[in-house]
Amino acid sequence: MIKILIAVASCLILSSCTWVKVTSKGEGVRLVHSAKAVQPCKKIGRVETKVVSKIVFNRNQEKVADELADLARNEAALINGDTIVPVSEVNKGRRSFDVYQCFPTRM
């Protein structure tokens, strides 16, 4: 019985952890949810993100969505994007984001 309680407690603790950290470049990328916000911007690509969404049981969907956005911000920064817009729903720990350049690039 004690082993089961320890296993369940461990899973609960692990499921609440955030494993994805935003890089220093990723911090400069904003997440917007409206296509209107990126109308004057130049679309420069799309990123596909994936995280673990289930560890014995399903993880908190909000945390999964936050981690996917953090990964997308990091990836967008690598291709000189400064804004991301989700273009799909979260599905089994996956989500797609369009990447835009809305502000002049810094040299």
Domains in the chain, ordered, with CATH?
Answer: 2-101 (3.30.1660.10)
Q: What is the pLDDT of residues 37-72, one digit of tens each?
A: 999 999 999 999 999 876 667 778 889 999 999 999
DSSP codes, 33-70? --GGGGTTSEEEEEEEEE---EESEEPPHHHHHHHHHH
Q: CA 23 to CA 28: how far, in whole Å?
A: 9
- Going by C-alpha positions, the residue among 90, 85, 81, 72 that lies closest to residue 33 is 85
Radius of gyration of the chain (CA): 17
pLDDT band at 4 (very low <50, low <70, confident <90, very high): low
| pLDDT score for 13 | 46
pTM exceeds cut of 0.85 = no
